[in-house]
Structure 1
Amino acid sequence: MLETVVKAHDETRQGEAYAPHEESTSPFQKNFYIESYGCAMNFNDSEIVASILQGEGFGATRNVEEADLILLNTCSIREKAEQTVRKRLTEFRKLKKAKPGMLVGVLGCMAERLKDKLLVEEKLVDMVVGPDAYRTLPGLIEEANTGQKAVNVLLSREETYGDISPIRLDSNGVSGYVSIMRGCNNMCTFCVVPFTRGRERSRDAASIVAEARDLFERGFREVTLLGQNVDSYHWMPSDSVPGITEPVTFAQLLASVAEIDPLLRVRFSTSHPKDITDEVLFTMAKYENICNYIHLPLQSGSSRILQLMNRTYTREWYIKKVDRIREILPDCGLSTDIITGFCTETDADHADTLSLMQYAKYDLAYMYFYSERPGTLAARRYQDDIPETLKKQRLAEVVALHRQHTLDSMRKDVGKSFKVLIEGTSKRSSEHLYGRNDQNKVVIFPKGNLQKGQYVHVTVTDCTAGTLIAESATAL
């Protein structure tokens, strides 16, 4: 089914992907500088923004002092991220005084909530642009150049940017992100995403497969399919594609991307425990190039807290999902998100989280103490009543337990052999390369005559809590 859709889509996109922007007739011939914060979706959005700006004659620069336009792609998930952005905006204001024609803008998740403060009260920026308004950037830049404050934070039920070919910023040339959907419908009480990114909508499958194929043909050897909740991906072909009437599920999309070429590794993130299906798990088992790694956010091991978070599953249900994953994919790597100190969390609730961690033994975890975000359901419904010192104490216990689990997991891999995709030179030694295995674990090995983008065979001889170490690697 997808082959027909992809063919029709490719015929409408010829000449669009990675067009020679330097031939643009735009009057703008300036530099832009962009910083991204938060999740992989934000980094992918910055690549979309880069494509739009290059189409208008703007060239990217790594030197902020050379920039005519500075953009911060922001995150509102945690207070610390917002504090970092404010600090950077204050620094950019000093640069702007030395270069009066410079424009400073905020993109992304902070846009709607803080637009008045950033534009009017604190006068830190010239424009504020929401996640669904990036196509309007050229007009907003023109408006800001006249001295007006430019704003567009309108959310869309349709925008997916599926027809825009991202410019790969800071890419290693091996791994690339491909966004498959935008927004979220889950309404977890602690989360701002439904309010900052809008309702869930899936990008058309044809454009996703075409973008992944283009990456492979340009030398990339790994794609990560991105969405707030990839397992709820659901695309219905339009009437313009004759004979295609069935919706495309995430499992079908995953298979179509895997079938581009056996040398193209496929990863995805993030999965909501309530939505990941056996169909997805069996698809992963069927294709050798779909990596055996799942990010399955837990948030809390307490059913009572999960209910307050509106996670729509219980502790027992989550455990059964972990069991099912390991039944179908015995060697699957598993990672998670954990929040400590959510509203009303007791010692017993915290103990439930620790015991579920003990059961799942995650290979990787992103762990935070609860940070109330204005505008969320939790902020409106519940009192943030756990002292920060207790939140941090519980977080320290979670981190300590997880470190033991990761070390145990790494030690189990000593003596085993893996296929690894080389991603680059190790940060610690120019004589060593690094890559990841199927389970998303980083492996370090001697450089020899090997090159980035190659697949190699390694046998692990040692490890740390975060890295597997091999004494040699053989090209495949």
Structure 2
Amino acid sequence: MLSSSCIRRGQRRALGLSRCLLRNASLSSSFSFASYSTRRERRQLFKEEQKPEQQHDDDTFFPEKNERRTAYIETYGCQMNAADSEVIAAVLTSHGYEIIESKEKMISMTSPPEVILVNTCAIRDKAEERVKTRLRQFRSDTTKKSSFSTQQKKKKKAVIGVLGCMGERIKGDLLKKDSKGVRLADIVAGPDSYRDLPRLIENAISNNNSNNSIGKKEKKKKKEDDDNEEKNDDGNESSRKRFEPKITETMNVELSTTETYSEIFPMRRGRVEDMSTSAFVTIQRGCDNMCAFCIVPFTRGRERSRDSASILEEAKKRFYEENAREIVLLGQNVNSYSDKSHAAAAEEESSSSSSNTATTTTSNEVYAEGFKSVYMPSRNHEYDFAKLLKDVCAISPELRVRFTSPHPKDFPDNLLQTISDTPNASKLLHMPAQSGSTSALERMNRGYSREAYMNLIDKAKAIIPDVAFSSDFISGFCGETEEEHKDTISLLKRVQYEQAFTFAYSLREKTAASKKLTDDVPEEVKQRRLAEVIETFREAAKEKAKGEIGKTHLVLVEGTSKRDDAKATGRADNGKRVVFMNNDESKKGEYAEVRIREAGMNTLIGDFVKKTTAKAFYDANAGKAWYA
């Protein structure tokens, strides 16, 4: 006699067989499996046949009718990434998404946003590891029952996207399970692919819905097939990556030679009255310098400049409509900016002229003296960075204009003179040295010597009254000796930078250093040299700060001090933070004259003199150093 369990097993098998026969019968009218030789083709055709009749249950995460999807954007890395996140927000908003404005608001939600996008940095390994940890956290928070109510979790499973430089570098590997068994991302988009985000998100949603609608056996079979398809015939991982498509259903890492997002007005989040006094305006993307240590040319692509008309339009909107009182012009190599549309117009006008007085620029006119590059750009008649800087400053004397991140080679005399002649152009210049050693700079492919760099510093001091400098330094680059390290220490002491961004060298794939040099400086030596660089910078900065005592600065007020509500805080023209007793007179976005009485490495303490305007301050100091 058969047991009841045997009977139940037999009934289930019979039911499964009948379902299989019915399914095959319904499919036979449209196609025959015999005519398709691969499992992948059969599976794809079966999926296409099922799409019209597919019913989405509560496990799907399509929004309800007339419901806006929510999206949260988290940003890591440089100011360019912060500006790019504003472009991303604008793209998604134009497609009906509601942007979650802050991490705090996202955490307070009863269910996760439909879309979580992480805009990433790839310049060092540490930055990538930090992002991976955050992605695992997002994945855990949106799948664990303890994170959100079960009902809400089922309806709103988040699509997680990796954007920016890390997405461009790692590409499709982010869509696979990592060593810890976690699939970090559902979509991947490089810096030039943000227009494509709505399509990528829709495809990820569609894929997840398909996964939710099939049973466990089908899921297991699909996984086995996908794993087999990912393997190369010879098992060569590097070969597979080389031929990996750059645009797929859920990935777009195609780099562009033209994309500048010029017609997209980036979305600053929050109410106008809550916005920062400072606003980013991207003017240039990509980098052609090919420094041996740097991954940026491979994650951001070739240099291209945005047209000047759209830049000026955006800057005016930021100033007049959003009350921004400081514009920060951004680019990977910002002072190499060149609007070629002006060159085309000038050449056409020149060719139609009977005198035809066209001239050709030389390397000495394009670059600072003693600097060179792997390429020589044509700058005939072009609207260069000096002209753009002057035009942005001309929007209003009440608008302060800064720029970052430049390359020292792109500080020709005409740019230094423009900065000197234009009162509201910031006098804090970022001059990334990277090293104080000529031999190390040569290995880094920086295009200049220590002597050329110091000559540029001295020239800037001679042309621009009260100029201040910031810089970048790398400790422990390939082959760095103790003597080369000492050269960097001596450079720090001589220049006395206001700010310094210092890092231990981190080898990056694809760079010239990874192919031609050896990362042979031990980690403990890197860290020791880095500590010495930081300490030297701090001591030199403290010594230089003493010279600020007694000076009067024009301070752009940014708000109240975090430590004392009775005090205001803002920044002087040299980038220094200034704190002073406010007496409720100066408000955010206004200017104040402040006399300095105490000076620290990063912060100046002063006494309020009076409220003023930038124009009144500049007029009063005309013909003298801006800080009397």
In the superposition, the TM-score normalised over structure 2's length comes to 0.70
- Residue 224 of structure 1 and its aligned partner are, at CA, apart by 0.7
- Residue 434 of structure 1 and its aligned partner are, at CA, apart by 1.1
Are 1:192 and 2:307 an aligned pair?
Answer: no
- 453, 460, 463: which one aligns with 1:325: 460
What residue identity is the alignment partner of 1:369? Answer: A
Q: Corresponding residue for 1:220? A: 324
Residues 426 and 444 in structure 1, CA contact (< 8 A), matched pair in contact too: yes
Q: Corresponding residue for 1:15? A: none
Give ranges in structure 1 of 5+ residues lacking alignment.
1-25
What residue identity is the alignment partner of 2:556? Answer: L
What secondary structure does 2:287 align onto? Answer: coil
CA distance in 2 between partners of 1:250 and 1:336 (Å): 20
- Residue 377 of structure 1 and its aligned partner are, at CA, apart by 1.4
Are 1:471 and 2:607 an aligned pair?
Answer: yes
Q: 1:244 to 1:60 in 2, by over 3 A?
A: farther
- 410, 421, 443: which one aligns with 2:556: 421
Give ranges in structure 2 of 5+ residues lacking alignment.
1-64, 145-152, 209-248, 351-380, 613-628
Q: Corresponding residue for 1:439? A: 574
What residue identity is the alignment partner of 2:595? Answer: T
In the superposition, the TM-score normalised over structure 1's length comes to 0.91
- Residue 116 of structure 1 and its aligned partner are, at CA, apart by 2.7
- 108, 115, 120: which one aligns with 1:69: 115
- Residue 241 of structure 1 and its aligned partner are, at CA, apart by 7.3
What secondary structure does 2:510 align onto? Answer: coil
- 270, 275, 282: which one aligns with 2:417: 282
Report matched runs for 1:229-268 at 5 Å. 229-237=333-341, 246-268=381-403
CA distance in 1 between partners of 2:527 and 2:349 (Å): 53
What secondary structure does 1:420 align onto? Answer: strand
- Residue 240 of structure 1 and its aligned partner are, at CA, apart by 10
Greater RCO (Cα-Cα under 8 Å, separation 6 or more): 1
- Residue 415 of structure 1 and its aligned partner are, at CA, apart by 1.1
Residues 444 and 470 in structure 1, CA contact (< 8 A), matched pair in contact too: yes
Q: Corresponding residue for 1:10? A: none
What residue identity is the alignment partner of 2:201? Answer: I
CA distance in 2 between partners of 1:172 and 1:388 (Å): 42
What secondary structure does 2:72 align onto? Answer: strand
Q: Corresponding residue for 2:230? A: none
Residues 37 and 73 in structure 1, CA contact (< 8 A), matched pair in contact too: yes
Q: Corresponding residue for 1:306? A: 441
Per-residue CA shift, 1:139-176, capped at 9, x if unaligned? 11111111266100000000000111011147733100
- Residue 81 of structure 1 and its aligned partner are, at CA, apart by 0.9
Q: 1:126 to 1:443 in 2, by over 3 A?
A: same
Residues 73 and 108 in structure 1, CA contact (< 8 A), matched pair in contact too: yes
Instruction: Specify which structure has the higher proportion of helix.
Output: 2
Q: Corresponding residue for 1:401? A: 536
CA distance in 1 between partners of 2:292 and 2:343 (Å): 37
Q: Corresponding residue for 2:131? A: 85
What residue identity is the alignment partner of 1:155? Answer: L
- Residue 462 of structure 1 and its aligned partner are, at CA, apart by 0.9
Q: Corresponding residue for 2:363? A: none
Q: How many residues align?
A: 451
Residues 422 and 433 in structure 1, CA contact (< 8 A), matched pair in contact too: yes
Report matched runs for 1:56-135 at 5 Å. 56-61=95-100, 62=102, 63-65=105-107, 66=109, 67-98=113-144, 99=153, 101-122=157-178, 123-135=183-195
CA distance in 2 between partners of 1:252 and 1:210 (Å): 15
Residues 237 and 244 in structure 1, CA contact (< 8 A), matched pair in contact too: no
Q: 1:411 to 1:104 in 2, by over 3 A?
A: same
CA distance in 1 between partners of 2:384 and 2:169 (Å): 33
- 229, 252, 263: which one aligns with 1:163: 263
Per-residue CA shift, 1:225-266, capped at 9, x if unaligned? 111112211112279979888421000000110111111111
What residue identity is the alignment partner of 1:217? Answer: Y
Are 1:40 and 2:79 an aligned pair?
Answer: yes
> Which protein is bigger by CA-based radius of gyration?
2
Q: Taking every aligned residue pair, what percent have the same amino acid on both sides?
A: 43
Q: 1:172 to 1:410 in 2, by over 3 A?
A: farther
- Residue 27 of structure 1 and its aligned partner are, at CA, apart by 6.3
Q: 1:295 to 1:240 in 2, by over 3 A?
A: closer
Residues 446 and 473 in structure 1, CA contact (< 8 A), matched pair in contact too: no
CA distance in 2 between partners of 1:363 and 1:130 (Å): 34
Residues 168 and 191 in structure 2, CA contact (< 8 A), matched pair in contact too: no
- Residue 406 of structure 1 and its aligned partner are, at CA, apart by 1.3
Are 1:142 and 2:181 an aligned pair?
Answer: no
Q: 1:319 to 1:114 in 2, by over 3 A?
A: same
Q: Which runs of 4+ in 1 moved over 6 A?
A: 238-245
Instruction: Specify which structure has the higher proportion of strand.
Output: 1
- Residue 118 of structure 1 and its aligned partner are, at CA, apart by 1.6
CA distance in 2 between partners of 1:91 and 1:369 (Å): 27
Residues 416 and 459 in structure 1, CA contact (< 8 A), matched pair in contact too: yes
CA distance in 1 between partners of 2:163 and 2:533 (Å): 33
Q: 1:240 to 1:217 in 2, by over 3 A?
A: farther
What secondary structure does 2:184 align onto? Answer: coil
Residues 422 and 453 in structure 1, CA contact (< 8 A), matched pair in contact too: yes
What secondary structure does 2:328 align onto? Answer: strand
RMSD of aligned alpha carbons = 1.9
